[in-house]
Amino acid sequence: MLNFNQFILLLKGLQLTLEISILGMLAGSIIGIVIGFLRASKNPIIKNISRIYVEIFRGSPLLIQLFIIYYGLPILFDFNVSAFVTAFIAVTLYTSGYMAEVFKASIEAISITQWESAYSLGLPYPVIALQIILPQALKIALPPAIGVLILVIKDSSLASVIGFTELTRMSNIVRAQTFTTFNVYAIAALLYFIVCYAISRLGNYLEKRIGGNEIHKINY
């Protein structure tokens, strides 16, 4: 088995995993909201261009996006990026692809009477989007967003390949120190499982509490 110090190392890795996941999730959600509104627009040009963005970042593996940013960009421009920054950028872009689809679905789930009555009151588009549609969309988007968060926490394990020391890489390091391969990976798997399972149960609970009945109340 592992001794105590090595377990603390694994916990440190878990901390970094959660840090990069939550930071990436927040940044990606902000970008995702913008692109979600673009996706939900009526203008076919805007719709299709944003669709290309989403197809690229959802339709390609996170590993390759990591490689492009970590190995490709320093060749192109003349600076080096640290593993943390590339992991952050890659996770943000990857998340924004998923969150754009989530927000597109949430925005389209809002009854069109909201838009119509807001326009008939003479409100400009930014005000409608920010103050009327967005709060409702955020509520609807919460359960699938938690699913994306779990996806991000699991896919953050790929950042270990470019040297970002999160839980998976830390378990590789501890494994090299102690030569107890199976145990280290099993404990790391257990840590991932506890975190992700807890978050998914939280998501179920939130879904029940939020209910979605709010939509029916506003509909007339």
User: Which residues here bind another protein, judged by CB under 8 A?
Assistant: 55-56, 59-61, 63-65, 67-68, 71-73, 75-78, 150, 154-155, 157-158, 160-161, 168, 171-172, 175, 181-182, 185-186, 188-189, 192-193, 196-197, 200
Give me the least distance between CB of 188 and another protein, in Å please: 6
Structure tokens at 198: 């807890």
Give me the least distance between CB of 148 and another protein, in Å please: 14
Judged by beta carbon, residue 106 or residue 160, the one nearer another protein is 160
Considering only CA atoms, which of 17, 19, 5, 61 is closest in space to residue 192? 17
Give me the least distance between CB of 196 and another protein, in Å please: 4
Judged by beta carbon, residue 136 or residue 165, the one nearer another protein is 165
Judged by beta carbon, residue 182 or residue 220, the one nearer another protein is 182
Judged by beta carbon, residue 139 or residue 154, the one nearer another protein is 154
Structure tokens at 129: 């989007």
* DSSP string of 109-121, one letter each residue: HS-HHHHHHHHHT
Give me the least distance between CB of 200 and another protein, in Å please: 7
b/e map 10-41, b = 16+ CB within 10 Å: beebbebbeebbeebbebbbebbbbbbbbbbe
d(CA 66, CA 166): 15
